Amino acid sequence: MAQSTARTYRLGEIVAKLGGELVGDADIDIRRMATVESAAPGDLCFVTHSKYLHQLRGTRASAVILARAQRNATKLPRILCDDPYLYYAQAAALLSDEERPSPGVHPQAVVETGAEVPASATVGPFCHIGRGARLGERVVVGPGCTIGEQAQLGEDGRLGPSVTIYPRCVIGRRVLIHAGAVIGADGFGLAPQAGRWIKIPQTGRVVIGDDVEIGANTTIDRGALDDTVIEDGVKLDNQIQIGHNVRIGAHTAMAACAGVAGSSRIGKHCAIGGAARIMGHIEIADHVTIAATTFVTKSIRNAGTYSAVLPAESEREWARTVAHLRSLERLAKRVRELETRIKPKKRKR
């Protein structure tokens, strides 16, 4: 049976826990977060940009989160703060109505001899926990998950349905892994021999730090010799591919469908846009932002924003652009020839 963690807070209690400046009635009951348009009595909404302030005139919300400079934008009870979007995220977590399953191992789960499953953990139906695997306190393993031999999952971790963790992988504390993710499959290591491919054994692990989130159907390959490492606080979206021996620095975020080839190193506090592609064996510095769909082919040594994107256009315009690109070398040669011909000659003294 599931245990709900939802509860009602008074507005003043929210401010006491999260900070900010309260203007108005502190005793109003708040049950959940909502958008300005859909909010009903008992809801807390937020506005992140001044161009949306006009929507407050018709909202039914009981209270609103605003930037400090927007103090007089409404007469509703309000929380003033430096960053309304961040405050919204914190308030949403506080008001979360996520249900936590009751502890215990489902009768249709298989726990092999030597596996450690504490009484506070939850193991759902059709799961398989391998020999020597260790689950931390209050771990939740969703239906259909597989945890390999000697794998470790830290306290308060949570696996969605059908997550696979290969043997010997190490997962830190408070890690959330969504449905279908695969942690520790073999990296794509092959050596050519007389027209054939010879598989290179992948003997490393995947090591994941604390407070990491991994999206649905994301795959992280085990290292060939060394480990693939995902440091603390990394956030990976859905359907991302991380190759073998990659290292991703702490608190880096990566959007959906991005791909990182083997042995690359990504720094800390980076932001990688959706469908970005990062070649293997390169390094990316800390505090680098890479725009969506950008193809990174060489190391980035300095912090900053990098992009290489051609926006969509009509087929006819794109054909003209390609024609010009193909002519660049010829045009550059002509320019050099013209510069040589018109370059003024030095006068003889």
Distance CA 341, CA 346 (A): 13
Residue 161 confidence class, pLDDT cut points 50, 70, 90: very high
Distance CA 89, CA 234 (A): 17
Q: What is the mean pLDDT of residues 275-301?
A: 97
68-107 pLDDT tens trace:
999 999 999 999 999 999 999 999 999 986 677 899 999 9
DSSP, residue by residue, 198-236? EEPP----EEE-TT-EE-TT-EEEPPSSS-EEE-TT-EE
236-272 pLDDT tens trace:
999 999 999 999 999 999 999 999 999 999 999 999 9
Which CATH code fits 2-99? Answer: 3.40.1390.10
Q: Residue 101 class from Cβ within 10 Å (0-12 exposed, 13-18 middle, 19+ buried)?
A: middle
188-244 pLDDT tens trace:
999 999 999 999 999 999 999 999 999 999 999 999 999 999 999 999 999 999 999
16-49 pLDDT tens trace:
999 999 999 999 999 999 999 999 999 999 999 9
Amino acid residing at 25: D
pLDDT at 150: 98
Distance CA 268, CA 284 (A): 9
Is 244 tagged catalytic? yes
Specify whether the CB–CB gap between 209 and 222 falls below 8 A.
no
Residue 236 forms beta bridges with which residues? 214, 254
3 state DSSP class of 75 = coil
Q: Does pLDDT of 7 surpass 90?
A: no
Specify whether the CB–CB gap between 187 and 245 falls below 8 A.
yes
Select which of 49, 106, 178, 244 is catalytic: 244
Predicted TM-score (pTM) of this structure: 0.88
pLDDT at 5: 52
Q: Does pLDDT of 1 surpass 50?
A: no
Q: Which CATH superfamily is domain 101-306 in?
A: Hexapeptide repeat proteins (2.160.10.10)
Q: Tell me, rounded to whole angstroms, the distance of Cα 316 from its chain centroid.
A: 37
Q: What is the mean pLDDT of residues 278-292?
A: 97
Strands 190-193 and 196-199 turn out to be: antiparallel
124-151 pLDDT tens trace:
999 999 999 999 999 999 999 999 999 9
